[in-house]
């Protein structure tokens, strides 16, 4: 009995000795290095944080936390550690063979490693949570990855003078000509990704590129006063390099709390616009307005997410207004992320209302439709299948490519001013406004009305043996 107690005490002293050298792993990690590499590879392809997390087998909350902790910045981890270090697969083999009571030299021979490498691995990375020093691959990998970190102090952390210069140019106080500070609006930072239609903090707001390129001008002989604009961005976005407070992102022009990966930026907001449906692919006959049946469309937006669709024919200037009522459930509960578009102008609602208006027209009057790049026409392929109407999208920030529609939208603002709720108008009332526009004589039509010009086209089609619209 005394021998047994002495053996137990020796083992406890050994455990205490090793515990003093090897800290407890604490809460086990949810993924290893290769998992994080796969996560950021999925982000680089344009996947959301939730989808990238599910792809590697962790919860969506973990993926969101990784993305926010990194500020949306890919840490650029190497796909695998150097071959001189043990991999996780090798550690799993060590754990299995150790459980089979194989010796250090036999394990080293099977792995083609030095016996001293295996001996150090068993001594350094053993589990510290049991009364005996058991070797577990997951715990050993945690220890190895923790030791491999070599965080280099950020330049803005170590150089206080440089940090003060950057922070003053980025978030300095606005001053009047007499030097008195101008406070501006009270705009607390709430961590949102973009400020939307709300007051923003007033600051000097130099861009990181302006700051980085101004430093050599202000300090031509001081090499320590140099920093790249990317280092400033990382100091703002990446928590582990947080020399600057995170809320200072509100002083950037975009005001983003997180950086947007390039693949995501390419997918938004025109991910539904492919090369085949660009306006450059539209038939040349649509440009000269000699052939009817080419239309332009857009939305006019009002308060409380209300909208009216506008569609105008290029040659006759005939206008159709689309009634877009709210969907059931709008305003009755909290908004759901990625839920249905209940405001009335989602992709499905626009597809249905456009299909219903164009399906009854003669084929010669539904040749093409040119739209802005809004996501309300994301289901344009289904609309083309249903109606035979070819859909094209204008180039970004090019409203003149839909000049006829823009002109009509300007006329409609006489009846539906900006800043008013458009959902209060019924279908009949909107149709009455469209009738009023179509009854106005137009100089470009030789003072004929759009209704008269369209009627002439219908008569020509009827004489050619084509049925008219009801």
pLDDT digits (tens, 9 = 90+) for 281-329: 888 888 888 889 999 999 999 988 889 999 999 999 999 999 998 877 7
Q: Which residues contact 276 (CB under 8 A, 6 or more apart)?
A: none
The model's pLDDT over 57-89, given as tens digits with 9 standing for 90+, comes to 888 888 888 888 787 877 777 665 556 778 878
Q: What is the mean pLDDT of residues 233-240?
A: 81
Q: What is residue 20's predicted lDDT score, i.e. its pLDDT? A: 44
For 97, the enclosing helix (H) or strand (E) is helix 88-99
Q: What is residue 22's predicted lDDT score, i.e. its pLDDT? A: 45
Name the least confident of 92-96, 340-344, 457-461. Answer: 340-344
For 370, the enclosing helix (H) or strand (E) is strand 368-371
159-194: burial string, b at 16+ Cβ within 10 Å, e else: beebbebbbebbbeeeeeeeeeeeeeeeeebeeeee
Of the candidates 381, 375, 374, 373, the residue with the CA atom closest to the CA atom of residue 355: 381
CA pair distance 77, 146, nearest whole angstrom: 14
Percent of the chain with pLDDT over 90: 25
Contact between residue 410 and residue 423 where contact means Cβ atoms under 8 Å apart: no
Handedness of CA 298, 303, 305, 307 (dihedral sign): negative
Q: What is residue 338's predicted lDDT score, i.e. its pLDDT? A: 59
pTM: 0.51
Q: What is residue 105's predicted lDDT score, i.e. its pLDDT? A: 92
Contact between residue 321 and residue 342 where contact means Cβ atoms under 8 Å apart: no
- Between these two residues, 440 and 46, which has the higher pLDDT value? 440
Q: Strand pairing of 306-313 and 294-302?
A: antiparallel
């Amino acid at each position: 009995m005394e021998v047994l107690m002495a053996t137990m005490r020796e083992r406890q002293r050994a455990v205490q000795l090793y515990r003093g050298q090897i800290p407890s792993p604490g809460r086990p990690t949810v993924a290893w290095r290769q998992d994080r590499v796969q996560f950021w590879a999925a982000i680089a392809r344009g996947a959301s944080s939730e989808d990238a997390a599910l792809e590697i087998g962790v919860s969506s909350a973990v993926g969101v936390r990784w993305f926010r902790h990194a500020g949306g910045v890919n840490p650029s981890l190497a796909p695998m550690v150097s071959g001189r270090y043990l991999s996780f697969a090798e550690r799993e083999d060590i754990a299995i063979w150790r459980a089979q009571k194989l010796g250090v030299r036999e394990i080293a021979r099977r792995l083609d490693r030095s016996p001293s490498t295996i001996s150090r691995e068993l001594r350094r990375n053993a589990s510290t949570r049991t009364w005996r020093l058991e070797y577990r691959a997951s715990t050993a990998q945690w220890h190895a990855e923790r030791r491999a970190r070599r965080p280099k102090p950020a330049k803005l952390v170590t150089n206080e003078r440089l940090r003060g210069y950057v922070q003053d140019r980025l978030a300095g106080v606005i001053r009047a000509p007499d030097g008195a500070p101008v406070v501006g609006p009270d705009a607390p930072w709430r961590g949102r990704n973009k400020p939307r239609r709300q007051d923003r903090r007033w600051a000097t707001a130099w861009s990181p590129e302006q700051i980085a390129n101004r430093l050599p001008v202000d300090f031509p002989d001081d090499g320590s006063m140099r920093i790249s604009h990317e280092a400033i961005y990382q100091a703002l976005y990446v928590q582990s390099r947080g020399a600057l407070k995170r809320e200072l992102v509100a002083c950037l022009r975009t005001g983003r709390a997180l950086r947007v990966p390039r693949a995501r930026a390419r997918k938004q907001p025109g991910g539904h616009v492919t090369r085949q449906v660009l306006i450059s692919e539209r038939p040349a006959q649509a440009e000269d307005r000699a052939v009817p049946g080419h239309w332009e469309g857009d939305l006019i937006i009002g308060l409380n997410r209300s909208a009216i669709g506008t569609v105008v024919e290029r040659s006759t200037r005939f206008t159709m207004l689309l009634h877009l009522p709210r969907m059931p459930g709008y305003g009755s509960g909290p908004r759901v992320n990625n839920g249905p578009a209940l405001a009335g102008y989602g992709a499905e609602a626009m597809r249905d209302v456009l299909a219903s208006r164009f399906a009854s027209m003669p084929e010669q009057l539904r040749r093409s439709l040119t739209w802005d790049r809004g996501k309300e026409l994301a289901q344009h392929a289904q609309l083309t299948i249903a109606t035979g109407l070819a859909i094209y999208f204008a180039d970004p920030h090019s409203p003149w490519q839909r000049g006829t529609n823009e002109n009509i939208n300007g006329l409609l603002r006489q009846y539906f001013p900006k800043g008013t709720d458009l959902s209060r108008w019924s279908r009949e009332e909107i149709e009455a406004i469209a009738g009023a526009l179509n009854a106005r004589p137009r100089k470009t039509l030789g003072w004929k009305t759009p209704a008269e010009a369209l009627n002439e086209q219908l008569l020509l089609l009827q004489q050619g043996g084509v049925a008219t619209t009801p």
